Amino acid sequence: MTTTTVTRSLGRYTLESRLGAGGMAEVFRATDTVLGRTVAIKIVRAGAASVDELRRFRREARLLAGLDHPGIVPVWDFGEDDGASYFVMPYLGGGTLADRLAEGAVDPATAVAWIAQIADALDAAHAVGVLHRDVKPRNILLDERGAARLADFGLARALGATRLTAAGLMVGTPLYLAPEIALGCPAEPASDRYALAVTAFELLAGRPPFHGDEPGEVINQHVHATPPPLPAWIGPARTALDAVFERALAKRPEDRHVSCAAMARALREALEAGPERSEPVRSGAAAPPAPRRRRRRAALGLVVLAAVVAAGTLLLAAL
């Protein structure tokens, strides 16, 4: 993880190094001068945020403060100083899953263990009516013990709350965007589950299942394309894992696993089965997806094209 050294104060905190930046905010490593502990501070860059974006930033702090779960990075403090809005979180020194992916694919057992930890955190958020809406490797941090923890609910919202984005804008990162969101439907827990499945695939394969040079190309694949098989070097568990991803990346939300935990459990069972199982491993939580029909695929093509044109602008979450 690349850092940039800085030295300045923000209220009771002394900023020491910049850990990352993107969208409307920057993240710094800092010291709490009152309690004497190292923290991470997310700060809205001056002039970088509109009134609506600042409202979203404050909402993120409130949402995070209300989610008490070991797999979710908590908020310790929130405030404003000289016009800058910020919130304070624990500093986790293990980097992000994106940092780990920069080194290549992750050991399957480790990858599945991380996904299980984030699955539990997401299910807990969904249980209290909170969607993340931007699950991806860069928003999953590793603590000093190597445990995965979910961060950056900057695009999250309470279920049923009013969207803060302008009409026609899609919120989320195209590589991890669920098909229903690409088609203009509201986000739902299944959308987070889809993004987690994309993340799981990327950890195992070293690349996401759908990718391309343009956002529209990636979105079209999310709506139309069948997930590719995992690389052959995955080994004997590959067939069973492919079957799990066929379901986890289903185009219709109702065809996916009923919870993040159910998907994580299916991945673990597939990995553990290895060559001893000839049949693909599927969770018993719900029926497998129905076969796709050509007519439905053609109709979806027209809808997604209209959705992409109507969206006009795609808000890319880079943090």
Catalytic amino acids? 134
- Report the C-alpha gap between 258 and 291 in whole angstroms: 19
- Tokens coding 9: 């104060």
Phi, psi of 10 (to 5 degrees): -140, 100
Question: In the sheet that 37-44 helps form, which strands lie side by side, from edge to edge?
Answer: 4-10, 13-22, 25-32, 37-44, 84-90, 77-81
The bridge status of strand 84-90 relative to strand 77-81 is antiparallel
Q: In this structure, are residues 92 and 143 in contact, taking their beta carbons and an 8 Å threshold?
A: yes
Name residue, tokens 């069972």.
269
Q: Please state the length of the chain.
A: 319
Question: Amino acid letter at 227?
Answer: P
Coil, helix or strand for 95? coil
Nearest to 208 by CA among 174, 234, 253, 237: 174
CA–chain centroid gap for 179, Å, is 15
SS3 per-residue string spanning 271-287: HHHHHHCCCCCCCCCCC
Q: Which of 207, 234, 206 is nearest to 104 (CA)?
A: 206
Helix boundaries (H) for the chain: 51-65, 97-101, 108-127, 179-182, 189-205, 215-224, 238-248, 260-273, 294-311
CB 125 within 8 A of CB 131: yes
SS3 state of residue 154:
coil
